[in-house]
Amino acid sequence: MKKKYKKVVVGGTFDRLHLGHKALLRKAFEVGETVYIGLTSDEMIKEKQYSERILPYEKRLLDLIKFLEVNKYRNYRIMKIHNAIGFTTKIKSLEAIVVSEETYKGAVLVNKAREELGLRPLDIVVIPIIRSRLGCKISSSLIRAGLIDPFGNPIRREEK
């Protein structure tokens, strides 16, 4: 089946891979022949909520590779990123960026940076936010806080 784009990019911290991350990655592989995955460096995540609980880069990288292998995704390249623009201005042949509704603003920043360098802006492919059973979005922050699991189920605190 012919894909819509030859080269797409997706990025994130991908801490404790959850249903939202997986939906984002699946969409990237659905629309792109080759997927470039930007994985945030440990330095880049210091300002995130519960940053002290974010898994180290190497562990997040291994978890990401395991997900890609289990799902038999082949045409990808994982690259460490140190800022929101990452490598999106260096790979001129990128055609699209896959984001969630929540990270759409990041795609706009990427396109602004590309346009400033005379590069074609990327098509923006947006997926909806995946919600937990509590109604809020599934996020690594809520998982790190111990409120939900990676599937969006609430974690019950056992009374002592």
DSSP 48-62: STTGGGSPPHHHHHH
**Residue 85 domain flag:** yes
What does the pLDDT look like over 65-84, one tens digit per residue? Answer: 999 999 999 999 999 999 99
Judged against a pLDDT cut of 80, whether residue 48 lies above it is answered with: no
For residue 86, give its domain range. 5-132
What strands, in cross-sheet order, belong to the sheet with 96-100?
76-81, 32-40, 5-12, 96-100, 123-127
Q: What is the pTM of this model?
A: 0.90
The percentage of the chain sitting over the pLDDT mark of 70, rounded to a whole number, equals: 96
Structural domain total, the chain: 1
**Residue 55 domain flag:** yes
d(CA 61, CA 92): 25
**Residue 150 domain flag:** no
Query: At 80, which CATH number?
Result: 3.40.50.620
**Residue 104 domain flag:** yes
